[in-house]
Structure 1
Amino acid sequence: MISFMSSKIRVYLVCRIDFYLPLSTDEKRTKRLGPNSRLNFECILEVRIMRVSNLVNIGPKLESLLNEVGIHEAEKLREIGSVEATYLLYQKDKDCMDKLFALEGAIRGVRWHNIQHEEKIKLKQSFDERCMNMNG
């Protein structure tokens, strides 16, 4: 499977390759490709918009809160980052610090408790700076 990211959606290119062999008794055993072999190549283009609920650490309650502040897709969360997303939540509910690490883990694809302590401190500092910039 080949995948690439655009600014809004993730696109997967799924390919299936089938080999058709002219089979004699010997070829059945060795399964070699001969000069009369055909190659059937089929590609399917799928477009999937990944919802935030598909990310790790995002349960129904956090998904609902993110939707309220305009974050519906995983790509949007990755675009703005965990600090900005937490700041948007903070404007609605001041008790949101636990969500900062959950969102960062979601972006990274890891459980929030697997984020190193030093990284959590840096995230908290970045969040505090973001709040100070808006208040001061």
Structure 2
Amino acid sequence: MSQPISKIRNLGPAMEAAFARVGIRSAEQLRELGTDAAYEQLLRAGSRPHFIGYYVIEMGLQGRPWNDCKGKEKDALRERFDAIKTRVASDPDIKGRSQLEAALNEIGVIERR
């Protein structure tokens, strides 16, 4: 039996809905993917990047309060976050596309550029 994403510390209904839109529907799925891969899926589907949202996921998967992220650990997470943002932003299939276009492309409705 799978647990909802909202059972993970720090993650509530809004995050659960965002992950559901990209096909991540359980806490187990999210744990298996990990923060970076799951967050990248959100960005590729058109979510706007927010560093706090990113590290809230990481802290939640570690079972820690979201505001426990500080100092060098936070700096390292910022580097990972920036790398994900850069990778997604430089993808020619995504750059400059709307959330609708990204979703249609994801399910194969529009032709890749």
Q: Which TM bucket (shorter chain)?
A: 0.5 to 0.7
> Percentage identity across aligned positions?
27
1:63-87: per-residue Cα shift (whole Å, max 9, x none)?
1001111111112111221122222
- The partner residue of 1:108 within 56, 59, 62 is 62
Which entry has the higher C-alpha Rg, 1 or 2?
1
User: Does residue 1:82 correspond to 2:35, yes or no?
Assistant: yes
1:47-96: per-residue Cα shift (whole Å, max 9, x none)?
x3122111111111111001111111112111221122222222312243
Aligned to 2:2: 49
Segments of 4+ moved more than 2 angstroms = 130-134
* Structure 2 gaps, min length 5: 92-113
5 Å-filtered alignment, 1:1-136, equals 48-91=1-44, 92-134=46-88, 135=90
More helix, by proportion: 2
What number of residue pairs does the alignment pair up?
89
The structure showing larger relative contact order (alpha-carbon pairs under 8 Å, at least 6 residues apart) is 2
| Aligned equivalents of 1:133, 1:54: Cα separation in 2 | 30
Q: CA-atom RMSD, angstroms?
A: 1.8
Output the amino acid matched with 1:122. Answer: A
* Structure 1 gaps, min length 5: 1-47
Please tell me whether the aligned partners of residues 5 and 27 of structure 2 are also in contact (alpha carbons under 8 angstroms). yes
Output the amino acid matched with 2:15. Answer: L
Higher mean C-alpha displacement, 54-63 vs 79-88: 79-88
More strand, by proportion: 1
Provide the TM-score with structure 1 as the length reference.
Answer: 0.58
Provide the TM-score with structure 2 as the length reference.
Answer: 0.68
